[in-house]
Amino acid sequence: MKYLKFILTGIFFGIVLVKSEAVSWYRIFEMFRFESFHMYGIIGSAVITGIILVQIAKRKKIKNIERVPIHPTPKDKSITRYLLGGLLFGLGWALAGACPGPMYILVGTGAFSMLIVIIAATLGTFVYGLIKNKLPH
């Protein structure tokens, strides 16, 4: 029962994404062709909300579900890793028509072909875990 609030939050978030058309392949296609501001507005508001919430968590010393203070770990700053990672992520997003979160939402809406994308994404994550020590970071 202690995880019920997280399940309900996820369901609510899924409904919001479906109603805002953030999981619509046509909206994503418009975004990658720079034809509409719709998705950029959604992503931009999510980034701003995330920045604000992380700052609040740091300043108020908010704890996670395991009662441990939230401390985002600083990341190495290098242009190459972010350009390549962003390029691969964006390419996968454009080819699949969905980023990782909405893939599950699309399965919930009846787009069962997304199960192939979820399996491929999981396999890709597994392979990355196997070879990450051999990659330049």
The residue among 116 and 77 whose pLDDT is bigger is 116
Question: Nearest 10 degrees: CA dihedral of 117, 120, 124, 125?
Answer: 70
pLDDT of residue 137: 67
Check if the beta carbon of residue 23 is closer than 8 Å to that of residue 102: yes
The tens digit of pLDDT for each residue in 14-69 reads: 898 889 888 887 888 888 889 888 889 988 999 999 999 989 988 888 888 788 88
pLDDT of residue 49: 95
pLDDT of residue 62: 85
Q: Which residues have CB under 8 Å from 14's CB, separation 6+?
A: 104, 105, 108
